Amino acid sequence: MKKRGLIAALILACLALSGCGSESSGKSFDQGLQVTATTSQIADAAEKIGGTHVKVTSLMGPGVDPHLYKASQGDTRKLTSADVVLYSGLHLEGKMEDILRKIGEQKQAAAVAEAIPKSKLISAGKGKMYDPHVWFSIPLWIYAIDEIEEQFSKAMPEHADDFKKNAKEYKDNLQNLDKWARQEIANIPEKSRVLVTAHDAFAYFGKEYGFKVEGLQGLSTDSDYGLRDVQDLVELLAEKQIKAVFVESSVSEKSINAVVEGAKEKGHSVSIGGQLYSDAMGEKGTKEGTYEGMFRHNINTITEALK
Ligand SMILES: [Zn+2]
């Protein structure tokens, strides 16, 4: 807590002196537009849409849990020195909200997932809270991509045509990916389309592609799971004869192992169907380090385990 307060104070001091960031208007962007994105899903889209006109830095790497992630001093520097800041919003970056809000008051910043019409979001129960894991529905993620294009065109109107062209290419690729995913999923018997994972990251995925989704933890990993949840899931697995559950690259395996053990005690054998990328993508430079590669990996892993 203390550290977080200190970082927030540093940002404010930094912004007040305006020595940390670039000048706020009449920019020429000689080095290209400096963009800082929180998650790698956003960074992937930003790089492809921005092309040679932007330089993208992302804060959260492979295996990083965005719900629990706190900005380091290095991150604070990357946020304050950026020309444009892109983040997910909908409370995905739960521990960085204060910092992101303050940055947003000082420079061009956008919560890209919040560009999705509210009517398409899945309510998270309390008040006006929504499930933030929107990137697993390609049709919804396209709203975020359009928002990124808009932000870049606003910052560099002279390159708007390029951004538009790049965004179209990126969206065409994702639409093909969406089509391919639906064909693959058709190979899984309908009654086997149940996805059990460590936390509730796949509700949009389930809604879009026809899976019943059960997460052991809630929408944020910032909550403990209880024995009750384990028992409920064990019973569901036995009742529906579900053969596999999945671990996530950014969440500890401990919780999902408890489900596997619990099922075993009840005489129902469940295996770990593989690791899914949920809130984080793979290593940069690997296939899974791109949005398309991550999505493809998940579809292949799910269909292999459940069909
Ligand atoms: Zn999550």
CATH of the domain at 62: 3.40.50.1980
Q: Rounded distance, CA 43 to CA 259, Å?
A: 34
- Mark whether 271 and 212 lie in a shared domain: yes
Say what the pLDDT of residue 255 is.
81
- Mark whether 30 and 148 lie in a shared domain: yes
Give the distance from CA 291 to its chain's centroid: 10
Say what the pLDDT of residue 233 is.
86
Q: Rounded distance, CA 205 to CA 135, Å?
A: 8
Say what the pLDDT of residue 222 is.
75
Say what the pLDDT of residue 22 is.
43
DSSP-derived 3-state class of residue 276: strand
The alpha carbon of 261 and the centre of ligand 1 are apart by a number of angstroms equal to 24
Indicate the number of domains in the chain.
2
- Mark whether 190 and 300 lie in a shared domain: yes
The alpha carbon of 250 and the centre of ligand 1 are apart by a number of angstroms equal to 9
Which residues in the chain show pLDDT less than 50? 1, 17-26
240 membership: H or E segment, kind and range: helix 227-240
Q: Which residues pair with 246 in a beta bridge?
A: 274
- Mark whether 168 and 224 lie in a shared domain: no
Which range of residues forms the domain containing residue 247? 184-306
127-156 in b/e burial notation, b at 16+ Cβ within 10 A? eeebbbbbbbbbebbbbbbbbbbbbbbebb
Classify residue 39: in a domain, yes or no: yes
The alpha carbon of 112 and the centre of ligand 1 are apart by a number of angstroms equal to 16
Say what the pLDDT of residue 14 is.
52
The alpha carbon of 207 and the centre of ligand 1 are apart by a number of angstroms equal to 16
The two structure tokens encoding residue 131: 């499930």
The alpha carbon of 307 and the centre of ligand 1 are apart by a number of angstroms equal to 26
Q: What is the pLDDT of residues 207-266, one digit of tens each?
A: 999 999 988 877 777 766 666 678 888 888 888 888 899 998 888 888 888 889 999 998
Classify residue 4: in a domain, yes or no: no
Classify residue 1: in a domain, yes or no: no
Contact (Cβ atoms closer than 8 angstroms) between residue 290 and residue 172? no
- Mark whether 13 and 158 lie in a shared domain: yes
Q: What is the pLDDT of residues 16-35, one digit of tens each?
A: 544 444 444 446 787 899 99
Say what the pLDDT of residue 41 is.
97
The alpha carbon of 31 and the centre of ligand 1 are apart by a number of angstroms equal to 34
The alpha carbon of 184 and the centre of ligand 1 are apart by a number of angstroms equal to 24
Classify residue 275: in a domain, yes or no: yes
- Mark whether 188 and 174 lie in a shared domain: no
- Mark whether 162 and 194 lie in a shared domain: no
Classify residue 71: in a domain, yes or no: yes
